[in-house]
Homo-oligomer: A and B are copies of this chain.
Amino acid sequence: MARWLIILAGGRGERFWPLSRMMHPKQFLTLMGDRSMIRSTRDRVRPLIDPAHTWVVTGQDYVRKVQANLPDIPTGHILGEPVGRNTAPSIAWAAAHIQQIDPDGTLLVLPSDHMIQQEEQFRKLVVKAMNAAEQYGGFYTFGIVPTHPETGYGYIEHDGMAFGDSLVLTVHQFIEKPPLEDAETMVASGSYFWNSGMFVFKVGELMAAVERHLPELHRGLVALVAEPDHVNEIFPELPQVSIDHGIMERVENVYVLPAAIGWDDVGTFAALARHLPRNDEQNAAKGHAIFVDSQNVTAISEGPVVSFVGVKDLFVVATKDAVLILSPERSQDVRKVVQALKEAQHDHLL
Contacts and interface: CB of A to CB of B under 8 A. Distances in A.
A132 B94 CA distance: 91
A311 to B, nearest CB: 5
Interface of A: 18, 290, 292-293, 301, 303-311, 314, 316, 318-327, 329-330, 333-334, 336-337, 340-341, 346, 349
A336 B311 contact: no
Contact of A330 (B304, B305, B306, B310): B310
Contacts of A301: 323
Q: Which 5 A-B pairs have the closest CB atoms?
A: A310-B327, A310-B330, A307-B337, A306-B323, A292-B336
**Max chain B CB contacts within 10 Å: which of A316, A326, A329?**
A326
B333 A309 contact: yes
Contact of A333 (B310, B316, B325, B346): B310
Contact of A341 (B290, B308, B330, B346): B290
B325 A309 contact: yes
Contacts of A307: 18, 322-325, 337, 340
Given A305-B322, A323-B304, A325-B325, A340 B310 contact: no
**Max chain B CB contacts within 10 Å: which of A306, A319, A325?**
A325
Contacts of A292: 333, 336-337, 340
Contacts of A308: 325-326
6 contacts: A290-B340, A301-B323, A304-B320, A304-B321, A316-B323, A318-B318
A18 B311 CA distance: 17
A318 B309 contact: no
Contact of A334 (B309, B323, B325, B333): B309
Given A311-B327, A314-B311, A320-B320, A305 B336 contact: no
A334 B307 CA distance: 9
A52 to B, nearest CB: 43
Given A319-B304, A320-B304, A341-B305, A311 B325 contact: yes
A304 B318 CA distance: 9
A169 B251 CA distance: 96
Given A308-B326, A309-B325, A310-B329, 15 more contacts: A18-B307, A292-B333, A292-B336, A293-B333, A304-B321, A305-B341, A305-B346, A307-B324, A308-B325, A309-B326, A309-B327, A309-B330, A309-B334, A314-B325, A318-B323
